[in-house]
Structure 1
Amino acid sequence: MKLIVGLGNPGTKYAGTRHNVGFSVIVGLADKYNIELSEKKHKAIYGRGMIEGEKVILAMPQTFMNLSGESVRELVDYYKCDPSDVIVAYDDIDLAVGKLRIREKGSAGGHNGMKNIISHLGTQEFVRVRVGIGKKPDRMDLADYVLSRFGKDELPEIKAGCDNACDAIALILKDSAAAAMNKYN
């Protein structure tokens, strides 16, 4: 079983913000593969289903971004997943809006949600799908930027990026992270 986690902040106040693109990826996968996101346990909203012949759990931690690892740890323990069976989708300010970067492992790269997941799992050995949200303007506070919404001119790029992230995750499940990296990085 694979655990696919999208990072974001809970509540309507944060819906559609740059920091919530991980949630957008999970909703996109749920829609595409008819997986109902109706279970509320393990500090997450999640659903179970099949993608490319693999049993999956699609999860959106409800702990707020910086404590995402609490939910991921509970899900990994409850469903007896190995950390190597975890795929995390999240935002990246170092990538242009909608661009993807897939990695099989690595550091948190300054992302507090990822720092918390790495801390709770005790490893960096899990796949991550980063979706670009664009560089923050020089005079803007980082927190204000990641909690801002996309401009109208950015909406086509971020939609395409989230769609590509869904396709990349399906390719990871069907083939490998390396195949997804070759196609989308």
Structure 2
Amino acid sequence: MNFRKAVEPDISSIMNIIKQAQDYFKKQGIDQWQNNYPNLETILNDIKNKNGYVLLDDDTIIGTVSVSFDGEKTYRHIYNGKWITNGNYAVVHRLAVDQEFKRRGLATIIMKKTEEICLNRDIHSIRIDTHEENLAMQKLLNKNKFEYCGIIYLEGGSKRIAFEKIL
């Protein structure tokens, strides 16, 4: 398996994985990644800003994630809890695995690769948020030793539960 920065020719594969996740959430009645988010512009911005990554099996893209080191303004205020650290941190967004490859530990591989990227940049904290009904993501975060920190609100007002991991 190969984990690398996403490039523009990866767009259709990434968007296919994103669409699968959106459809899954819709079927589960989870109001996450709906209303045209994430969209093509979001993914193009991830690539342009060098935050997008893909996981490949041979030459097939089977997973995607965005890892940013620019902070997250919706993380400035956390409710019913607090962040573990106050220093620099990475933000993980848009983590998804191709449905044909689920249940193989690939999301954990993506998380481990993300941790390596952070440590190579001397960043020792990762923050992430998810919908409170997204039990699959919560299970992944628990498995990978993330700690629940509290509640944040997205710019549109949607509630998310927030987690942090110290590396």
- Between 1 and 2, higher relative CO (CA 8 Å, sep ≥ 6) is seen in 1
Q: TM-score, normalised by structure 2?
A: 0.41
Pick the structure with more strand per residue.
2
- Scaled by the length of structure 1, the TM-score of the pair is 0.38
- Name the structure with the higher helix share: 1
